[in-house]
Amino acid sequence: MNLMTSRRVAASSVSVLALLVLTACGSNSTNATASSPSQSTPPAAASTPGAAGEIVGVTVTGEKGKEPTITVAQGAPKPSSLQVKDIYVGDGAEVKPSDTVTAHYTGVSLATGQVFDSSWARGKPIQFPLSGVIPGWQQGVPGMKVGGRRLLVIPADLAYGENPANGAPGGALVFVVDIVSVP
């Protein structure tokens, strides 16, 4: 094979690789939305150690089973609907809307990027019925499997509102949820 032919083969290989990467990125949209608990599970992200997930303006990194790092870009756009992205897909029981779950989570304000609540900071997961939490969780958690991690970017109307009176965080919220167990 001469030098010109080698360069053409290399250029073709790079073009094919770039096309595959773009196709993979396009088919695993970071703007997946969940409109109801019966919606199918969002596309899965890589489940390798240190896998990352992103929804426009929000990036999550961290190893499975450890506290995630959530980065919110300055000026991240407010979501008009619930946005869901699997970081790790679990291999255990699937969460149903009527379940009580045991979960680790971190909650961050989209406006400030500051953590407002974290079970990781308290050192243990929390157990609660999905029917007793904000609509963004009621719609965004079902379909997860035990061992999974999911990023939820929740608009204010599916969280606590823009200006809640009870001291809860206002505006759009970001949660990273790890399902530890379901009954």
DSSP state of 163: S
pLDDT given at position 171: 95
Residue of 150, 152, 147, 47 whose CA lies nearest to 90: 147
Q: What is the DSSP string of 63-128?
A: -TTS--EEEE-TTPPPPSS-EEEEEE---SPBP-TT-EEEEEEEEEETTT--EEEEHHHHTS-EEE
More confident residue, 28 or 169: 169
List the chain domain ranges: 1-30, 33-181
Q: Is the pLDDT reported for residue 1 higher than 80?
A: no
pLDDT in tens, 36-93: 333 333 333 333 334 456 688 899 999 989 999 999 999 899 999 999 999 999 999 9
At residue 183, the 3 state secondary structure works out as coil
pLDDT given at position 103: 97
CATH of 33-181, one of 3.40.710.10, 3.40.50.11060, 3.10.50.40, 3.30.1360.200: 3.10.50.40
87 close to 145: Cβ distance less than 8 angstroms: no
For the chain, percent of residues with pLDDT exceeding 90: 62
pLDDT in tens, 129-155: 999 999 999 999 999 999 999 999 999
Question: In angstroms, rounded to a whole number, what is the distance separating the alpha carbons of residues 134 and 115?
Answer: 17
Paired tokens of 66: 């450890």
Residue of 103, 162, 155, 91 whose CA lies nearest to 127: 103
Q: What is the number of other CB atoms lying within 10 angstroms of the CB of residue 3?
A: 7
pTM: 0.72
